[in-house]
Every structure is written in C-alpha cells, then in structure tokens.
C-alpha cells in the first residue's frame, strides 16, 4: 500500500514508519521537523519519500493524500512544555492542520488513522478511563486544556465525517516512551529524567510526585496504531492505546536512578516554577484497555523496566 504518515519524523511517527517499511509498504512522510528530527528516519531514509513541510499547506496535503491509499495522521503540536510555552502554534497546527488532513481524506476517499491523546479525558477522577467516558477539563485560561480541546475537535470532525462515509479510526495514546525521545522536542518526564540521571544532575519531580501515569513502550504504541489503522474492524472506532500498569512519578524517578546507577538526588519543583502560574496537572491517568483487546486483539506487553532498559541503551549510544 501507499501510506502517508504525517509527523513521520517524530518520536512515535518514525517508529511507525520503520514498521510500515518493514511490512513492505510504500511510505511518504510529511513533517516540518518542528519537534521531529530527520535523524529519526535514518533506518528507513533510503526506502521512503520525505517531504519537509507543514500540514498547514492545504494544497500540499491534498496532493499527498490523493496519491496515498491510507493516511496515518500523527503530525501535531505535542508535549505539555511546548503547549504551555507556545499555545497558539499548537492550537493552529492541531485544529487547522488536522482539518486539512481530515478533509483531504474525505475528498479523496482515503482511510484515516487519527492519532489522539489521553489528554482528551482531562482531569477526570474516573479510573480506568474508557473511550466513551465524560471529559473533565479546566478553564480556557489554562493553556494546557487547549491541547485536549483541539484534539477533541479533530476527533469530533473525523467521527462526524464517518457518518458521511469516511473510513477512520482514532487512537488515544497514554504516555509513550522509548528510543528517540528528545528532551528538547516532545519532552516528557522519561526524557527529562533520563537526561538528568545520566548527567548526575538532580531529577526534577513536579509537585509531590504522587501523580501517576501509565508508561507505554513505543513498540506497543506503534503496534496498537498499526492495528487500528489497518484492520477493517477498527473503522469508526476510538481506542485507548496504552499500558494499564500505573506508576507514580516518585517511583519512576527512583527506578531511573537505580537503573542508571546515577548519583543524582531528587529535586522537588512546584508546578508554578516549571510551567508558570495557572497550570493544572492530571493526577492519575489509567487506560481501560478492553476495547483494544476485544476489537484489535491488542494488549501492551512490555514492562516498564524492560522498556526503560532498551531506551537507556539507545540513549547511551546516541547521546555519548
Ligand atoms: N514531570 C516531572 N518532572 C519532569 C517532567 C514531568 O515530575 O521533569 C511530571 C509532570 O508534571 C506530570 C508527569 O510528570 O505530572 C508526566 O509529565 P509529561 O510531561 O511526561 O506528560 P503528561 O502526562 O503530563 O502529558
């Protein structure tokens, strides 16, 4: 198949591209390298077509979608740090850019996989988070929730077009981590702490560190994405793609210190110090994984320690 991957030079996108190439597909990547990195495509570079440009160019998007059989839309403004620092850029990319991709898929009758996020659920207290659950968000004056809202618009748009024949699926990612994480790009707690631990700098724990996440190794993230994007049973359906093993940020920090043999201490940092005034965090985030298991036969299987070990190996080879 001819597959277009937007955001294919990104942290998750590039792993997806590697898998698609190995499966024998003809892959085109559209990426503006805002948080992506062309080095992420080293493995597949000679097998793909790489277009360095933005999804905000509707004519380019239209042309690339027309030539594809199926589209994986992963390009987005991502990472809480980036969203809070530059909310406008992220909002425009995540609404206008996504609309360009979705509407081109409608026009040319292409299958669409829309990558979304567990941020969709906001700060709900209901665990685990099931795909049809209520969303609980804070005020529009809190920049963070703009990301959740923009992604929700994309989901709404794709689901509404599905009623008019668009073949689509949505995947909501839960804290993916693995090789190619970039503290300067997508960011994330795993990237930050790994960098800090290997430099023997203090690991920054925001708040009291009792907040939890379900860390999902990138190989699992990609497997769920592929199945949702290629399986006909997935059409019209939204899936959580994540591991359901919950870890506190305190435990993550301790594990990273232990695994790296670092001399780092823990440095507690208030949310305000890191993100400025008016920041809200998500206290817990746990996916209900039953739908992905039932419909796609997918279950994240890689343990945190094992995934961190693989990430660490890559990190040591890359950032020496
Ligand atoms: N966090 C932290 N130290 C860091 C980076 C993040 O304690 O250096 C916390 C962050 O405040 C949040 C959790 O780790 O509670 C996960 O943050 P991340 O940005 O990775 O993803 P999120 O789940 O918030 O989208």
Is residue 242 within 8 A of residue 300, CB to CB? The reply is yes
The pLDDT assigned to 184 comes to 80
192, 195, 197, 198: CA torsion to nearest 10: 170
Nearest-CA neighbor of 179 among 214, 218, 221, 216? 218
Structure tokens at 133: 């659950």
Q: How far is CA 82 from CA 111, 186, 286, in A?
A: 30, 8, 23
User: Does residue 267 lie within any of the structural domains?
Assistant: no
The response to whether residue 204 sits with its C-beta less than 6 Å from ligand 1 reads: yes
CB-ligand 1 contact for 250 (6 Å cutoff): no
- 254 found inside a domain: no
Ligand 1 midpoint to CA 248 (Å): 10
Question: What was the pLDDT predicted at 185?
Answer: 74
Is pTM beyond 0.85 here? yes
Per the domain annotation, does 66 fall within a domain? yes
- Taking only the tens of pLDDT, the chain with its 320 residues reads 999 999 999 999 999 999 999 999 999 999 999 999 999 999 999 999 999 999 999 999 999 999 999 999 999 999 988 999 999 999 999 999 999 999 999 999 999 999 999 999 999 999 999 999 999 999 999 999 999 999 999 999 999 999 999 999 999 999 999 999 988 877 899 999 999 999 999 999 999 999 999 999 999 999 999 999 999 999 999 999 999 999 999 999 999 999 999 999 999 999 999 999 989 999 999 999 999 999 999 999 999 999 999 999 999 999 87
Q: ∠ CA 193-145-275 to the nearest 5 degrees?
A: 40
Atom of ligand 1 nearest to the CA of 206: 7
Identify whether the C-beta of residue 166 lies closer than 8 Å to the C-beta of residue 21.
Answer: no
| Number of separate domains in the chain | 1
Cα 210 to middle of ligand 1, angstroms: 11
Of 79, 147, 193, 249, best ligand 1 pocket probe by most atoms within 8 Å of the beta carbon = 249
Contact call for residues 1 and 69 (beta carbons, < 8 A): yes
For residue 236, report the distance from its CA to the centre of ligand 1, in Å: 31
Q: What are phi and psi of 51, to 5 degrees?
A: -110, 115
We report the CATH number of the domain holding residue 24 as: 3.40.50.720
pLDDT of 186 reads: 77
Strand pairing report for 212-213 and 247-248: antiparallel
Q: Whose CA is nearest to atom 19 of ligand 1?
A: 188
Residue located nearest, by CA, to atom 10 of ligand 1: 206
CA 269 to centroid of ligand 1, rounded, Å:
11
The rounded Å distance from CA 57 to ligand 1 centre is: 32
Check residue 127 and give left, alpha or beta (phi > 0: left; psi -120 to 50: alpha): beta
Residue 15 is predicted with a pLDDT of 98
Domain-embedded: residue 100: yes
**175: Cβ below 6 Å to ligand 1?**
yes
Indicate whether 143 belongs to any domain: yes
Active site annotation includes 173 = no
CA-closest candidate to residue 213, choices 94, 117, 143, 115: 117
Query: Would you say how long the chain is, in residues?
Result: 320
- Whole-number pLDDT of residue 320: 72
Residue 276, in any domain of the structure:
no
- Given ligand 1 and candidates 123, 206, 257, which is best to mutate, with the most ligand atoms within 8 Å of its CB? 206
Say if 183 falls within a structural domain. Answer: no
Q: Is residue 260 part of a domain?
A: no
pLDDT single digits (tens) 268-284: 999 999 999 989 999 99
Mutate to test the pocket of ligand 1, among 176, 189, 205 (most ligand atoms within 8 A of CB): 189
Runs of H (alpha helix) within 53-143: 58-67, 80-85, 87-92, 98-108
Q: 11, 121, 147, 173: which is the annotated catalytic residue?
A: 147
Q: How many Å lie between the centroid of ligand 1 and the Cα of residue 118?
A: 13
- Provide the residue range defining the domain that includes 6: 2-174+216-244+287-301
């Amino acid at each position: 198949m001819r597959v277009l991957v937007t955001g294919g030079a990104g942290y998750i996108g590039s792993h997806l591209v590697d898998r698609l190439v190995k499966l024998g597909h003809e892959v085109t990547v559209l990426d503006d390298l805002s948080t992506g990195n062309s080095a992420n495509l080293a493995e597949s570079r000679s097998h793909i077509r790489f277009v360095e440009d933005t999804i905000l160019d509707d004519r380019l998007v239209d042309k690339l979608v027309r030539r594809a059989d199926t589209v994986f839309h992963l390009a987005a403004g991502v990472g809480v740090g980036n969203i809070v620092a530059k909310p406008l850029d992220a909002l425009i990319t995540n609404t206008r850019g996504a609309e360009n991709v979705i509407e081109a898929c409608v026009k040319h009758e292409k299958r669409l996989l829309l990558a979304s996020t567990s941020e969709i659920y906001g700060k709900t207290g209901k665990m685990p988070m099931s795909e049809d659950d209520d969303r609980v968000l804070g005020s529009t004056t809190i920049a963070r929730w703009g990301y959740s809202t923009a992604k929700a618009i994309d989901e709404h748009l794709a689901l509404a077009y599905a009623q008019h024949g668009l073949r689509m699926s949505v995947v909501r990612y839960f804290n993916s981590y693995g090789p190619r994480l970039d503290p300067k790009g997508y960011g994330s707690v795993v990237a930050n702490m790994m960098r800090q631990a290997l430099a023997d700098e203090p690991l920054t724990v925001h708040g009291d560190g009792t907040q939890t996440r379900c860390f999902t190794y990138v190989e699992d993230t990609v497997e769920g994405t592929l199945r949702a994007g290629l399986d006909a049973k997935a059409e019209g359906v939204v899936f959580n793609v994540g591991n359901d093993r919950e870890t506190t940020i305190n435990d993550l920090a301790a594990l990273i210190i232990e695994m790296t043999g670092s001399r780092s201490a823990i440095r507690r940092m208030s949310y305000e110090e890191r993100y400025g005034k008016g920041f809200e965090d998500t206290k817990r985030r746990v996916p209900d994984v039953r739908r992905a298991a039932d419909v796609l036969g997918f279950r994240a299987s890689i343990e945190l320690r094992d995934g961190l070990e693989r990430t660490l190996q890559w990190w040591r080879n890359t950032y020496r």
